[in-house]
Amino acid sequence: MITGKTTLLHYLSFSRPVAAHQPWPRFVLDEAAWRGLVAELAVEDWDVLGLWADGNEIHCALRDEETGEIAVASHSCTDRRFASLSQVRPGVLRLERAVADLYGLQAAGNPDGRPWLDHGRWGVTHPLALARRPPPPAPYAYSFLPVEGEGLHQIPVGPVHAGIIEPGHFRFHCAGETVVRLEERLGWVHRGLEGALIGKPVAQAAKLVGRVSGDSTVAYAIAFARAVEAASGAEAPARAHWLRALMAELERIANHIFDFGAICNDAAFALMLGECSVLREEILRICESCFGHRLMMDAVVPGGVACDLTAEGAALLQDMLARLRPRFEELVELYDNSPSLLDRTVGTGVCTPALARQFGATGFVGRASGRAVDARRLPGYPPYDQMELPVPVRQDGDVNARIWIRIEEIRASLDLIGRILSQMPPGPLHTPIPTRGGEGMALVEGFRGEILVWVRLSQVGRIVRCHPRDPSWFQWPLLEAAIEGNIVADFPLCNKSFNCSYAGVDL
Amino acid sequence: MSLLKILARDLFSRRRTETPPPVDGETLQQLAARLGETARLSLGRSLSIREVDAGSCNGCELEIHALNNPVYQLERYGLRFVASPRHADVLLVTGPVALNMAEALKRTYDATPAPKWVVAAGDCACNGGLFAGSYACLGGADRILPVDIAIPGCPPSPRALLSGLLTLLEHVAVR
């Protein structure tokens, strides 16, 4: 009986656990238990953290909001179909469409049967399915959602946009200046990343996962490394954890500062972008001096980190902290005292807390709309478990709120870097990954939000299946909701305030 | 601090803009040999660039964005990014050319008026990079467009990008 008081692990404990899944358990659900899970989700506060396929099996990562329990529920599809979760967790809808495109597993009950990643151009259907099928003979067609009413017009934008930005197609239906509906069509930069990962040795796979979304390369590399370490039973040395956190916070600040400038620029306040892009450039140069790469790509590896922080590097970072703080605070003050700018950001592009919760949004999108979720705190991972970490939250959910969350996070990250520099223990940087099979999962807080990486290793230490899930999966749909009722001219502003990754979800 | 104070300080403080990197002599010679003198036009030492992401991880875009910051300040060389291919002289292509983007890239090229040049930026656009051989990628910009300059790197640094673009400018402009 469904009472709304079951814990996640209690529900799953009636199904068969899988032995080699770390650090959280995985259970194999039969048809009835999977359907029961859909029913439980309707009443329980369980977040769906991700949904991906693997052969004929479907996996779903879940978190019980109340108890903090995390687990993976798996279900072997009969007849290549499984009961859809999209009716109870709408954020999963596009993940299920992607599963259908890549694996040919159909989500029964998903109201949207259209393809998502498959644009009819690969020459194969279901490229990752156990048995590939030839392309369908019928010409590929994609119909956008209809909008009916008097005086409505359509504005199709993209995939090639006006700026230096990733490709995506936006279909606006407008009544005069006001957006009645925005429909996103993504998938343009699908590179076949999950397919390319299959069979790769761990070291090569790490490079690929570091390029799921280039702006989050450190966070992805940490997530992949942690998943591989969990699967193989390796433990990275203490100093490596601290260096990873140092790089992750530098990445967060560099991205947030640029976003802060770029959002203001989209409200025609160009000076902020100029100032912020200089700060970003200074940070990237210090990253290059310390870790050998401006974006710190491939600096985090499974088992630890690839390079150490020298005494000169630490001095550069201390110097950066001292110079960056006052200059950043100046810009915050300027933002807060520019009514013409606030006029554009306050009350624009509102995402309600109810929607953010329904879609399981994390990162600044979730935190600007009432969700105090941060993977560094829950489930937590070293070295953050040894530090106090403020998680800023607002309820207003507009462009202004998303700017303020970023401002607060920049301040917090600057503090964290200072503490990391003073508390980081000496010691080795790397531990070898033992060659053995297993399954592992990791949750890591990137600058956009919670990144999930799941991995299964073969006995010879190669990738059998790896799924990286970007936080943007649960943020893109909210942009469609946030722009409704706003004017078309505010779309760039709203879009930049969300700053969702295209490459991260197109894979 | 008020807007005016920040503006005044920027105006009287040390200039942030840096000196340009040297142009690549070898690439310049290769360009001259391939394109010939006839392709040179009097564009007044100015080129308009349309950036097209054809499957990049967005790392290249971050560094291309940096070209617009006050440190590199692309526009002082007469190089600028434009919103439409119809205003462009140069297509700056990133990514391994995802099959889903191939037609959009080709159409963007076709919409660019001649004479036009194609610059492949980043390892992916040069030869497919880590995605060479994927079912979803062509494996490089030269599989679909005539590439004039390739700028390797993952991603190429702003200085490397600038050097490549200045080499093209040096070739195109009549001295």
Cα B158 from Cα B150, distance rounded (Å): 14
What is the per-residue pLDDT for B42? 56
B12 band by pLDDT with thresholds 50, 70 and 90: confident
What is the per-residue pLDDT for B78? 85
B175 band by pLDDT with thresholds 50, 70 and 90: very low
The predicted-structure confidence for A195-244, as pLDDT tens digits, reads as follows: 999 999 999 999 999 999 999 999 999 999 999 999 999 999 999 999 99
What is the per-residue pLDDT for B17? 83
Q: Which helix (H) or strand (E) holds B5?
A: helix B3-12
Judge: A330–B66 Cβ closer than 8 Å, yes or no: no
B170 band by pLDDT with thresholds 50, 70 and 90: confident
Residue B28 has pLDDT above 70, yes or no: no
Instruction: Determine the average pLDDT of the residues in A375-382.
Output: 93
Residue A410 has pLDDT above 60, yes or no: yes
A2 band by pLDDT with thresholds 50, 70 and 90: low
Nearest-neighbour CA in chain B from A203: distance (Å): 13
| Whether B8 contacts chain A with CB within 8 A | no
Residue B2 has pLDDT above 70, yes or no: yes
Q: Is A433 helix (H, G, I), strand (E, B) or coil?
A: coil
The closest CB to that of A159, out of B7, B104, B157, belongs to B104
What is the per-residue pLDDT for B23? 74
Q: Which two three-digit tokens encode residue A377?
A: 């705190």
Instruction: Determine the average pLDDT of the residues in A412-423.
Output: 96
Query: Which 3-state string (H, E, C) describes B102-166?
Result: HHHHHHHHHHCCCCCEEEEECHHHHHCHHHCCCCCECCCHHHCCCCCEEECCCCCCHHHHHHHHH
Q: Is A457 helix (H, G, I), strand (E, B) or coil?
A: strand
Q: Which residues of A touch B53 (CB under 8 A)?
A: 165-167, 189
Poorest-pLDDT segment among A239-253, A437-451, B73-87: B73-87
The predicted-structure confidence for A110-124, as pLDDT tens digits, reads as follows: 999 999 999 999 988
Could you tell me if the ipTM is greater than 0.90? Answer: yes
Percent of chain A surpassing pLDDT 70? 99
Instruction: Determine the average pLDDT of the residues in A159-172.
Output: 93
Instruction: Determine the average pLDDT of the residues in A240-261.
Output: 97
Q: Is B167 helix (H, G, I), strand (E, B) or coil?
A: helix
Cα B153 from Cα B143, distance rounded (Å): 19
Total residues found in chain B within this entry: 175
Nearest-neighbour CA in chain A from B43: distance (Å): 23
Poorest-pLDDT segment among A197-211, A448-462, B52-66, B75-89: B75-89
What is the per-residue pLDDT for B33? 66
Q: Which two three-digit tokens encode residue B27?
A: 């690439």
Are A299 and A308 contacting, i.e. CB atoms less than 8 angstroms apart? no
What domains are there in chain A, each with its CATH number?
8-108 (3.30.460.80), 194-471 (1.10.645.10)
The predicted-structure confidence for B37-64, as pLDDT tens digits, reads as follows: 545 555 667 889 999 999 999 999 999 9
- Give the amino acid at B84: S
Chain B, 85-114: which have a CB under 8 Å from a chain A CB? 85, 95-96, 98-104, 108
Cα A505 from Cα A187, distance rounded (Å): 8
Which of A226, A117, A209, A231 shows the shortest CA–CA distance to A469?
A: A209
**DSSP for A23-38?**
SS-EEEE-HHHHHHHH
Distances (CA, A) of B46 to B41, B43, B78, B113, B166: 11, 6, 4, 15, 10
Q: Which helix (H) or strand (E) holds A76?
A: strand A70-76
What is the per-residue pLDDT for A466? 97
Instruction: Determine the average pLDDT of the residues in B133-160.
Output: 95
| Whether B73 contacts chain A with CB within 8 A | no
Cβ-in-10-Å burial (0-12, 13-18, 19+) of A289 comes to middle
What is the per-residue pLDDT for A131? 77
Q: Which own/partner contact pairs does A405-412 have at CB distance under 8 Å and 24+ positions apart?
A: A405/A364, A405/A367, A405/A368, A406/A256, A406/A259, A406/A260, A406/A364, A407/A256, A407/A260, A407/A332, A407/A335, A409/A252, A409/A256, A409/A364, A410/A252, A410/A253, A410/A256, A410/A257, A410/A260, A410/A328
Residue A451 has pLDDT above 90, yes or no: yes
Which of A48, A47, A31, A36 shows the shortest CA–CA distance to A3?
A: A36
- Residues with Cβ within 8 Å of A403's Cβ and at least 6 positions away in sequence, in order, are A260, A263, A335, A345, A497
B4 band by pLDDT with thresholds 50, 70 and 90: confident
Residue B36 has pLDDT above 90, yes or no: no
How many beta-carbon pairs below 8 A join chains A and B?
Answer: 149
Instruction: Determine the average pLDDT of the residues in A462-478.
Output: 97
